[in-house]
Structure 1
Amino acid sequence: MTRGTRLLGAALLCAALGLTGCSSGADGAATGDGADEAPPVDFKTPPAVSATPTVSGVVELELPLEAYAWTDAEIRTRQQGEDLLAAACMRSYGFDLEPRPLYRGDKALRDARRYGVSDPATASRFGYHMDPAARGPKPPEENYTPAESLVLFGPQEGRPAARKQNGKEIPKGGCWAKSLRDLASEGPEVHPDKEEFADQLGGFTFQESQKDPRVKKAFRAWAACMKERGYSYANPMAAVEDRRFTESATASAEEIRVAEADVACKREHNVIGIWYAVEVAYQERAVEENQELLDTLKQRKEAILRAASRAGASN
């Protein structure tokens, strides 16, 4: 019996937005057996910087690891393929679930703020907050029946449940897991802990670059500049993380003034140019020391995108 049409809902939001935290701890660090592994790159000796650009914004900047990570557009293509395959699988069990609306994703927004706020106009309007209009729509609410959940996600570990629906065996992990396996079937296998390795490695280089002597020197110049304007912060991230601002839904007049000073001091001392140049060097070393795995992930991504495009063309 076919039920009324439902949406593939919020439980599947991870794939829609490409959020690595869906399979990780609250702080974004990977959990599981690999959590205590040694750092994936040796930065005991800081890498040499080839050139330091003068930077007034972030939108035009590209980092080496971006070639291996998922873009918002690629995430949308993957999501559409996942949803179409999962929906087709669900129909074979008598359930009619529509694919999710395509989300714009927020990876590009987050990347544009990688080194904090950098645009004077944005700082004057929103302070350290994101422009609400730039975000995609909220995900649909989950509203699955027990039978739908069983077929979509499979029997939950530790809970007794039927292994069949309408006399048909439920695939391992349900239709959702089957759609992921089908999309990735033509690409090389990768351990689940490594699926988001490029993004995780980018997070590592971001943190390590802030410890670099060249970046710390730029931070000190920025902090002195901010001090002259009446604000006391050790580095740009300290301003972004000011609880007066993070705990407010919108930017206060004070937050806007701080953000405007932040941008002015970054430009005066080319903080973003220096920081970016250093992180490029860090990422180049990260790529060099993890080239084999990154190439495998890129091949896997390309295979998934080809399969997702075929799924879209056939539906």
Structure 2
Amino acid sequence: MPAVPGRLRAVCLAAAVAAVLTGCSSSDDGSGTGSGTGSGEPSVAETPRMTLTAGTELPLDAYERSEDDVYALAKAQNVLTEQCMKRYGLAYDAPDPSPPAHIRPNARIFGLVDAGEAARYGYGSVARTGPAPTKPKSAVLGETAKSVLFGPKTKKSGKALAEMPMSQTAAEKKKSGLVVNGSPVPVGGCLRESYLKLYAPTSSSVDIMYVFNLKGEAESRALSDSRVKKATKAWSACMKKAGYVTAAPASAARDLGFSGEAATGPGAVTAAKADVACKAEVNYAGIRFAVQSAYEKRSADRNAETLGLLREQAQDRLRLASQLTS
């Protein structure tokens, strides 16, 4: 699957409210990692004051697919699926994908930080700005069409008869055991074939979840980082002074009992406003951004070769999508 690269040099952190990091040191973070290329806590070039995250970029964002690209690829995969079904004399109209919402990226990457959103939505979700998604129409398929679309299933377990191939070249060497109108059905059916042709044509294709997994690992490491833990503790102390007992921003709504309709109620709005105020007071978003950027930068450097290959393959994929849908 497919952002601002960090310049790892010195830690910029000191005490703010309740001993939170905001000043500057001259070398590293005290972990002994220096440039941040080791396995310990990486140093950061600076820690910005940050109260909004919408539109910001982290190092690995450069390798993510845009909403428009995701939409274009989804349409292309539909074309491939329909072409595959046609080989078996079956008419199939794939459901249209939801159009891009064009929501600014990373708006809530570190949780709720926008005072305006807190006042308007509480802990609820932000209203979608793009066209409202339409529920895909479910095609009425006969048993044969279902077997071709999804691949043959065992009656006992419901799983595919053969192990799912991980590339189209591998898929072409496997047999599903099902033949329809004189043609063998691919393992996993037309849906699997369309996915592999677009996202994994060969064994050298980089998993489209590769960047997602790298980002997840970086986030996990950042949350365990001593600087982020210190900022989280300071935020929790600030919330306690405001009358709210919660251990971490990620669990605040749940800790405070604001779920479902209650997430946008008056009580949730009041708590969310206090939440955002405390994040601003301790510079929670700025510290999270600086530390997570450092981990992502280190990951990007370590995986530069694979990320470069992924970027090349993403361009090839978009060219194919354009040919299929033009």
CA-atom RMSD in angstroms? 3.0
Structure 1 residue runs without a partner (length 5+)? 1-14, 19-40
Identity in percent? 31
Structure 1 residues 143 and 51: CA distance shift in structure 2, 3 A: farther
2:223: which partner in 1? 210
By relative contact order (CA 8 Å, sep 6+), the higher-ranking structure is: 1
TM-score (norm 1): 0.76
| Counterpart position of 1:189 | 204
- Greater CA drift, 293-302 or 281-290: 293-302
**Contact 1:72/1:107, CA 8 A, preserved across alignment:** yes
Q: Secondary structure at the match of 1:201?
A: helix
- The amino acid that maps onto 2:146 is S
Normalised TM-score (structure 2): 0.74
Question: Residues of 1 paired with 2:258 and 2:105: CA distance?
Answer: 17
Residue 221, structure 1, aligned to residue 218, structure 2: no
Task: State which of 38, 42, 45 in structure 2 corresponds to 1:50.
Answer: 45
Task: Tell me which moved more, 140-149 or 80-89.
Answer: 140-149
- Deviation (angstroms), 1:106: 7.1
The one of 116, 137, 140 aligned to 2:111: 116
The 2-side partners of 1:65 and 1:274 are apart by 18
State the distance in 1 between where 2:236 and 2:320 align: 50
1:177 paired with 2:172, answer: no
Q: What's the CA shift for 1:124?
A: 1.8
Amino acid at match of 1:103: S
Query: In the alignment, does 2:64 pair up with 1:69?
Result: yes
Q: Which has the higher helix share?
A: 1
Gaps of 5+ in 2: 3-35, 154-159, 163-175
Question: Which residue in 2 is equivalent to 1:86?
Answer: 81
- How far residue 83 of structure 1 moved from its aligned partner, in angstroms, is 0.3
Secondary structure of the structure 1 residue equivalent to 2:264: coil
Task: Name the structure 2 match of 1:11.
Answer: none
Would the alpha carbon gap of residues 282 and 185 (structure 1) be closer, same or farther in structure 2, given more than 3 Å must change?
closer
- 8 Å CA contact 2:244, 2:256 repeated in 1: no
**Deviation, structure 1 residue 282:** 0.6
Give the superposition deviation at 1:96: 2.1
**What is the total number of aligned residue pairs between the two structures?**
273
3-state DSSP class of the match of 1:116? coil
Q: 1:86 Cα shift?
A: 1.0
| Equivalent residues of 1:205, 1:282 under 8 A apart | yes
8 Å CA contact 1:128–1:251 kept in 2: the answer is yes
Deviations 1:263-306 (A, max 9, x none): 11111222101110110001001111222222222222222111
- Tell me if structure 1 keeps the 8 A contact 2:59–2:293: yes
1:302 aligns with 2:315: yes
- Given that 1:127 and 1:259 are in contact with CA atoms closer than 8 Å, whether structure 2 keeps it comes out as yes
